A and B are shown apart, each in its own frame.
Chain A
Amino acid sequence: GEDVEQSLFLSVREGDSSVINCTYTDSSSTYLYWYKQEPGAGLQLLTYIFSNMDMKQDQRLTVLLNKKDKHLSLRIADTQTGDSAIYFCAEKDGDKIIFGKGTRLHILP
């Protein structure tokens, strides 16, 4: 079946950039997503990228897509304490969205 993989933990100092990486297996995915889950809350869509794009930038967020390697990354510039959350990578698989296990981003003072 389709699979989305990402590392489970990332620690970053406040003010530095965070880069969260993800790999997926379905080469026919049309959309790839990044969701954010803050403690005690549901998932919230951060951004998405269409598969024919290489990069998408939205304020502090930059999404890079390497379709050849099936690699997706999310860069958060100037990481703040409010960015502390679990970040889920996801791919569109037909009518479903397949999620990775999530990367817990920990901000160091």
Chain B
Amino acid sequence: GAGVSQSPSNKVTEKGKDVELRCDPISGHTALYWYRQSLGQGLEFLIYFQGNSAPDKSGLPSDRFSAERTGGSVSTLTIQRTQQEDSAVYLCASSLSMAVIGVDNEQFFGPGTRLTVL
């Protein structure tokens, strides 16, 4: 399909282990975003990438969280030494650009990865 895809769809891990979550944005979209959706906490911005610019990491909750975007396409969100409070659905989104025009801002979301830390 032509939408944003994420893998895995579900991940169960033990506390202290590292995990990698993958996002494949829509082809041609220059902007990519990671969000975390925790129960009762709503949607929390984590990080975004825009083209070749340095990513905005202002939303990352701790230095255990990092993300890369290789070749301006696929992105990986890595959580090191996972904690139980990291359990959440991690959503990825992409948009055509960061242009001012509202339509170009439209973010298309993937189905998310549900992370459970035991």
Contacts and interface: CB of A to CB of B under 8 A. Distances in A.
A44 B109 contact: yes
Interface stretch (A64-72, A75-83, A93-101): A93-101
B98 interface: yes
Contacts, number: 55
Contacts of A88: 42-43
Interface stretch (B71-79, B80-88, B99-107): B99-107
Contacts of A95: 48, 50, 56, 98
B43 A42 contact: no
Interface of A: 30-31, 33, 40-45, 48, 50, 88, 92, 95-102
Interface residues of B, number: 24
Contacts of A92: 102, 105
Contacts of B98: 95
Given A42-B112, A43-B107, A95-B48, A101 B102 contact: no
16 contacts: A30-B100, A31-B105, A40-B111, A42-B4, A42-B93, A42-B108, A50-B102, A88-B43, A92-B102, A92-B105, A95-B48, A96-B48, A99-B45, A100-B42, A101-B41, A101-B42
